Amino acid sequence: MKTKESRFQVHDELTAPERSLPVLKGALAGGGQLSNFLGVMAGSPAALRAYARFRSELRHGALPLKTQQRVALAVAEHQGSDYALGTVSRTAREAGLGIDEIALAREFDSRDEREAVLLRYVKALLESEGPPPLHLHEEAREADWTDEQILELVAHIALGTFTNLVTRAGDVPLDGSAEEGRLKQAA
């Protein structure tokens, strides 16, 4: 059985361009194994460093982690990214979202009305060519989402969209598939 391959090379610390190594080594120090996405991104040191900085800054922003995960799920579902859905579903569970909330987020909804308001705003941003309806922006503010959080929301949508574009353009295989292929070859 052939393992799906990426259209881009999936680098590791031995094959990546030298300027990608600091980011890859940082990722390895934090989690052990590189994702296929980061391995692909390593092929462009500038894009990898920009992604890492953008993501790091947003992780330390004003938007709660569970909200970040809900947004990532909604964006991945909307854009049809199997790679992101697999990855974000796992990280959302690790962040404390239940299976029901994960399913609702994929439909731009939540049992938490404050979160649901923000997800409706996400949907409007993704589905419209122009600005989202003013009432959705006002609803977000009335639900006590600050301008800082709403702006970070837009940044998270952009980050998710970028990730989805890369994984779709490269037809990047789900994490673990390369390792499964190596194990099958070794057997």
User: What percent of the chain is predicted at pLDDT more than 90?
Assistant: 84
Tell me: pLDDT of 4 over 80: no
pLDDT tens by residue, 22-33: 999 998 887 678
pTM: 0.88
- Flag whether pLDDT at 57 surpasses 80: yes
Residue 144 DSSP class: T
Tens of pLDDT, residues 151-160: 999 999 999 9
Residue 62 clears pLDDT 80, i.e. is over it:
yes
Return mean pLDDT, the chain: 91
pLDDT at 33: 83
- Helix (H) / strand (E) containing 40: helix 36-41
Q: Structural domains in the chain?
A: 8-60 (no CATH), 65-169 (1.20.1290.10)
Mean pLDDT of 113-123: 98
Write down the pLDDT at residue 91: 94
- How far, rounded to the nearest angstrom, does the alpha carbon of residue 177 sit from its chain's CA centroid? 19
Q: Are 129 and 159 in contact, with CB atoms under 8 Å apart?
A: no
What is the DSSP annotation of 59-120?
Answer: HTSSS-HHHHHHHHHHHHHHHT-HHHHHHHHHHHHHTT--HHHHHHHTTT--SSHHHHHHHH
- CA–CA separation, 27 and 106 (whole Å): 27
pLDDT, tens digit, 9 for 90 and up, residues 87-116:
999 999 999 999 999 999 999 999 999 999
In a 13 Å sphere around the CA of 186, the CA atoms on its Cβ side amount to 6
